[in-house]
A and B are shown apart, each in its own frame.
Chain A
Amino acid sequence: MKKILMGLALALGMSSAVLAAGGPGIPMEKAPKRVNDMAALQNGAKLFVNYCLNCHSAGFMRYNRLRDIGLTDKQIQENLTFATEKIGDTMKASINPAQAKEWFGANPPDLTVIARSKAAHGHTGPDYIYTFLRTYYRDDTKATGWNNLAFPSVGMPNPLWELQGQRVATYETVESHGHETQVFKGFEQVTAGTLTPLQFDNAVGDLVAYLQWMGEPAQNTRVRVGVWVMIFLGLFALIAWRLNASFWKDVK
Chain B
Amino acid sequence: MAEFKELPSDAPMAQKALNWVDNRFPLSKLFNEHMAEYYAPKNFNWWYIFGSLALLVLVIQIVTGIFLVMHYKPDAATAFASVEYIMRDVPWGWLIRYMHSTGASMFFVVVYLHMYRGLIYGSYRKPRELVWVFGCAIFLVLMAEAFMGYLLPWGQMSYWGAQVIVNLFSAIPFVGPDLALLIRGDFVVGDATLNRFFSFHVIAVPLVLLGLVVAHIIALHEVGSNNPDGVEIKANKDASGKPLDGIPFHPYYSVHDIFGVSLFLMVFSAIVFFAPEFGGYFLEFNNFIPADPLKTPPHIAPVWYFTPFYSMLRAITTEMMYVLVACVVLGALLGVLKAKINGLFKAVIVGAAVVVSALMLSIDAKFWGVVVMGGAVIILFFLPWLDNSQVKSIRYRPSWNKWLYLVFVINFFVLGYLGILPPSPVGERVSQVGTLFYFGFFLLMPWWSRLGEFKPVPARVTFKPH
A residues with a Cβ closer than 8 A to B are 8, 11-12, 14-16, 18-19, 22, 59-62, 65, 109-110, 112-113, 116-121, 125, 215-218, 222-223, 225-227, 229-230, 233-234, 236-237, 240-241, 243-245, 247-249, 251-252
Closest to A60 in B: B84
Question: What 9 A-B pairs are tightest by C-beta distance, nearest first?
Answer: A226-B273, A117-B288, A60-B84, A237-B262, A240-B259, A116-B288, A218-B94, A244-B259, A113-B288
Query: Is B312 in the interface zone, CB < 8 Å from A?
Result: no
Do the beta carbons of B252 and A248 come within 8 Å of each other? yes
25 contacts between A and B (CB under 8 A): A8-B410, A11-B426, A12-B417, A16-B421, A19-B421, A19-B422, A22-B298, A59-B81, A60-B84, A216-B87, A218-B94, A222-B94, A223-B273, A226-B269, A226-B273, A237-B259, A240-B259, A240-B261, A241-B259, A244-B256, A245-B466, A248-B252, A248-B465, A248-B466, A249-B465
Query: Is B9 in the interface zone, CB < 8 Å from A?
Result: no
B residues with a Cβ closer than 8 A to A are 42, 81, 84-85, 87-89, 94-95, 98, 247, 251-252, 255-256, 258-259, 261-263, 265-266, 269-270, 272-274, 276-277, 279-280, 285-290, 298-299, 410, 414, 417-418, 421-422, 424, 426-427, 430, 465-466
Residues from chain B with Cβ under 8 Å of A245 in the complex: 466
A125 to B289 CA separation, bound complex (whole angstroms):
13
Do the beta carbons of A229 and B421 come within 8 Å of each other? no
Do the beta carbons of B88 and A230 come within 8 Å of each other? no
Do the beta carbons of B466 and A249 come within 8 Å of each other? yes
A109 to B289 CA separation, bound complex (whole angstroms):
9
A251 to B464 CA separation, bound complex (whole angstroms):
9
Residue with the highest number of chain B CB atoms closer than 10 Å, among A65, A113, A241, A249? A113
Residues from chain A with Cβ under 8 Å of B95 in the complex: 222, 225
Q: A74 → chain B, closest Cβ, in Å?
A: 22
Q: A132 → chain B, closest Cβ, in Å?
A: 15
A65 to B90 CA separation, bound complex (whole angstroms):
12
A116 to B286 CA separation, bound complex (whole angstroms):
8
Q: A239 → chain B, closest Cβ, in Å?
A: 8
A17 to B177 CA separation, bound complex (whole angstroms):
37
Option from A18, A229, A243 in Cβ contact (under 8 Å) with B258: A243
Do the beta carbons of B255 and A121 come within 8 Å of each other? no
Do the beta carbons of B266 and A216 come within 8 Å of each other? no
- Given A118-B285, A245-B466, A251-B247, is A234 in contact with B259 using a C-beta cutoff of 8 Å? no
Residues from chain A with Cβ under 8 Å of B286 in the complex: 117
- Given A11-B430, A229-B269, A240-B259, is A117 in contact with B289 using a C-beta cutoff of 8 Å? yes
Residue with the highest number of chain B CB atoms closer than 10 Å, among A19, A65, A233, A241? A233
Q: A121 → chain B, closest Cβ, in Å?
A: 6
Residues from chain A with Cβ under 8 Å of B81 in the complex: 59-60
- Given A11-B426, A118-B285, is A244 in contact with B255 using a C-beta cutoff of 8 Å? yes
Q: B69 → chain A, closest Cβ, in Å?
A: 19
Closest to B269 in A: A229
A118 to B168 CA separation, bound complex (whole angstroms):
29
- Given A18-B421, A121-B280, A216-B87, is A230 in contact with B94 using a C-beta cutoff of 8 Å? no
A59 to B80 CA separation, bound complex (whole angstroms):
11
Do the beta carbons of A233 and B273 come within 8 Å of each other? no
A60 to B79 CA separation, bound complex (whole angstroms):
12
Do the beta carbons of A251 and B424 come within 8 Å of each other? no
Closest to B407 in A: A4
Closest to B283 in A: A116
A113 to B266 CA separation, bound complex (whole angstroms):
28
Q: B466 → chain A, closest Cβ, in Å?
A: 5
Do the beta carbons of B414 and A230 come within 8 Å of each other? no
Residues from chain B with Cβ under 8 Å of A216 in the complex: 87, 94
Q: B409 → chain A, closest Cβ, in Å?
A: 13
A155 to B276 CA separation, bound complex (whole angstroms):
32
A14 to B418 CA separation, bound complex (whole angstroms):
11
Do the beta carbons of B272 and A226 come within 8 Å of each other? yes
A97 to B430 CA separation, bound complex (whole angstroms):
47
Residues from chain B with Cβ under 8 Å of A226 in the complex: 269-270, 272-274
Residues from chain B with Cβ under 8 Å of A241 in the complex: 259, 262
A40 to B289 CA separation, bound complex (whole angstroms):
26
Closest to B80 in A: A60
Closest to A110 in B: B290
Residues from chain A with Cβ under 8 Å of B290 in the complex: 110
Do the beta carbons of A120 and B252 come within 8 Å of each other? no
- Given A62-B88, A113-B288, is A230 in contact with B262 using a C-beta cutoff of 8 Å? no
Do the beta carbons of B421 and A233 come within 8 Å of each other? no
A6 to B99 CA separation, bound complex (whole angstroms):
39
Residues from chain A with Cβ under 8 Å of B255 in the complex: 240, 243-244, 247-248
A35 to B427 CA separation, bound complex (whole angstroms):
39
A110 to B292 CA separation, bound complex (whole angstroms):
13
Residues from chain A with Cβ under 8 Å of B88 in the complex: 60-62, 65, 217-218
Option from B89, B269, B421 in Cβ contact (under 8 Å) with A230: B269
Residues from chain B with Cβ under 8 Å of A61 in the complex: 88
Do the beta carbons of B42 and A121 come within 8 Å of each other? no
Do the beta carbons of A240 and B262 come within 8 Å of each other? yes
A152 to B270 CA separation, bound complex (whole angstroms):
38
Residues from chain A with Cβ under 8 Å of B251 in the complex: 247
Closest to B156 in A: A117
Do the beta carbons of A15 and B418 come within 8 Å of each other? yes
- Given A117-B286, A218-B94, A251-B247, is A112 in contact with B84 using a C-beta cutoff of 8 Å? yes
Closest to A247 in B: B255
Do the beta carbons of B84 and A113 come within 8 Å of each other? yes
A16 to B424 CA separation, bound complex (whole angstroms):
10
Q: B162 → chain A, closest Cβ, in Å?
A: 18
Residues from chain B with Cβ under 8 Å of A65 in the complex: 88
A59 to B142 CA separation, bound complex (whole angstroms):
34
Do the beta carbons of B247 and A234 come within 8 Å of each other? no
Do the beta carbons of B414 and A8 come within 8 Å of each other? yes
- 7 additional A-B residue pairs with CB within 8 Å, beyond A59-B81, A118-B285, A120-B285: A14-B424, A60-B88, A116-B277, A125-B285, A223-B274, A226-B274, A248-B255
